[in-house]
Structure 1
Amino acid sequence: MINVLILLAVSVVLVPRVDSHRPDWLRRFTPSSRDDSNWLWSWAWASDGTVSIVDRSPPVTFPARPASFGAELIDPLLGYVIPLASFTAPCPYDSHNSTERRHPFDPDPVFGCPDLCVSDGSEREPTDTWIALVQRGGCPFVEKARQAQKLGAKAVVVGGDRDNPDALLNMFSERDASDVTIAATYIKYWDYVQLSSMIAVSNTTHNGLKTLSLLISTEYSAWEWYSPIITFIIILLLPSLLTFITLLIHRIRAARAAQRDRAPESVVHSLPWRVWTGTGWEKHEPLFVPADMAAASSQDVERGLDTPNASTSHDVQLPAWVEQQMECAICLEMFVKNDRVRVLPCYHLFHIDEIDEWLIHKKKLCPICKADVTQPRRPPTDHHSEEHAAQPTASTHVRSPSTVAEPNERTPLLQSPGRTSDEPESGS
């Protein structure tokens, strides 16, 4: 999925841009009318073009946008622009011969809405290359193009309306428009007003009508011809892409949480280790770091809090249980000769390869006592002394064995609290 999007993006960047022509090999497989191609053209990103008045120096150029229906302008089209309102009028309506209007809208020469007829009775020559000029509103865009085509125009320029003066629309047809064979383009409202005013004061005439020489051109980018399929692919892949992004964020958070539970390699590799010779330990590294190094590590690296520094510059006396460890708690095997053993801060011993794998990739806690290996080392304690220290002390009322009298025949079986065996019974 992601690879497809990457390949499409790379192809868009690497394909060289073209001026106004599609490649010849692509033109053979593409009909001249966009409505004949497929319904995806209604989703295509619109290409931009220009409408230029060439009989002015310098030429006056307006931005334009071709319609999604009608003919494509492979080459720029040069012709005389004539407003339909200058020579057309609504066709006379015969109520006796027709029971209803042909169109649900009223004919209007300014908007170019059918049905329009030539008011002066003179028809344009079929060989004349002239361009119709109408304004948005009154009827659909495709009906304006049909009316201009019926009157003999080679193209139609549709101007914007006052409600959306700066909008540059992409004109399209909701129904079949394969019968439209002329080009249609859209310009902004104020450009339409300026073009109409320039025609009104023009000295150029054609068949007795004021006009100007207009050049319509379309500028296509290299990727514009692939925009329908790209849009369709993006719509299909968008849910999958959002799901992938959500899973990616979840995995990143889970990886960070797992990383916080592991010990850094530098900390693990700095822990002391021993070599078992079969009868004792050799290559014994100091279990306590010097005081100057311990001072630097006397802070909790995770919480940023000061911790008691229990390290000294010399070895302390270790309890017997530390030296008596002969088995690895991970693999449950006895230490054999030449085994390398890692000594954790809690003084539990493990095979160095096994415990390093556990601390670096699993947990930073001792598998036995769950002590954090990233915390500073603390002095060892004897398990037996801890058990004795945890037992409650005897009551102060109980006398030591040296002060308790030996029982005799006068010692009662049950004694009252606070009374000793050497005190005589009352009444005896």
Structure 2
Amino acid sequence: MSFLIAQRCVLVVIVISFFLGVVNGSITVVGRSPALSFDDSEALFGPQIKEAHGTLLVARPLDACSPLKNLLVDSSTSHFALIIRGGCSFQTKVRMAQAAGFDMAIVYNDKSGKWLLIMEGDTENIEIPAIFISLKSGETLMDYAGQTGVDVTITANYYVQDGFTLKGVEKVIIAALLTVSVASICILLILCVMFVRDSRELPTHVLAPVRMGRRSVRAMPCVVYNPAVDPNGTNNTCVICLEDYARGEKLRLLPCNHKFHVQCIDKWLTNEQSFCPICKHDARKKKKNPPVSASNPILPPPIVVTPANIGFTCFIPFWNYQSSTNHASSSHTLQRGPSPNHGFVDSAPPLNLPV
């Protein structure tokens, strides 16, 4: 997503820079009220324009692909030739206007649209400047061409100082460098804003990993691995070191009931993260204790000894008898009768509990 946004911003900057680089001057018609102004694009060949004033004349022929018929004599007034695009190259049109004595060539588009082309080509033997304007601007100037008292002023929006000239290739390189610089700055700003925004939305465990203390890790229970209990089980390999468990090896049991090598999981919990590498459960949060079975030989809680005045030597819950499966006998008897220390308490018959 970030890459697409940056890519679109670069495209927008390039398009804006292209328009800013193309529309680099203006033509103002002076002598009428109100004054007219049109955008123009300076050619990459010929001398650079700062500001020029002169009289506008229509070239004959209009496309200036052959020598012009309206030849000019030396005059203190500058004359600009209005030429239509097409029929030959831009350089040919400018050379024909130059040979006829014009001081500048104004080429207007032969197709409608607001796009202003950049005229480029060989600069050899071209001594007059040239600009490009739109079709609409050219048709408007056509109405005022040759009129007495109507002058045209050409103004450049930006130019290079005297003593330093730029050729067409150099102008393109400078424009490209400026475009890349502006685009890079925009991308950098966008990435900074997105980084700050994403940082605020990240969860705490991503920004700062939560680890467990050694005491908390060592307080977790351990089990002894016995492959005979579940030979086809899926928990026969440590997912951290990818080594199989050995018979009798001590494994650390997490609250989610997943087992690992003690050395592997202890290092993971204390140095990396506090969650299980398999299910991502937070090892600091307790889950229900796993069922007691032969595959999970965790000792049950110790037998609770009651006070002697109750009448029983000890009280063993019924479920402890059910969990005791390793006795040789098939049943257990809970005898009620005389207490060796406190006499007769209850004379009920013995209670036989099947396993």
Given the two structures, how large is their TM-score scaled by the length of structure 1? Answer: 0.42
TM-score by length of 2: 0.50
Q: Taking CA–CA contacts closer than 8 Å with sequence separation of 6 or more, which of the two structures ends up with the larger relative contact order?
A: 1
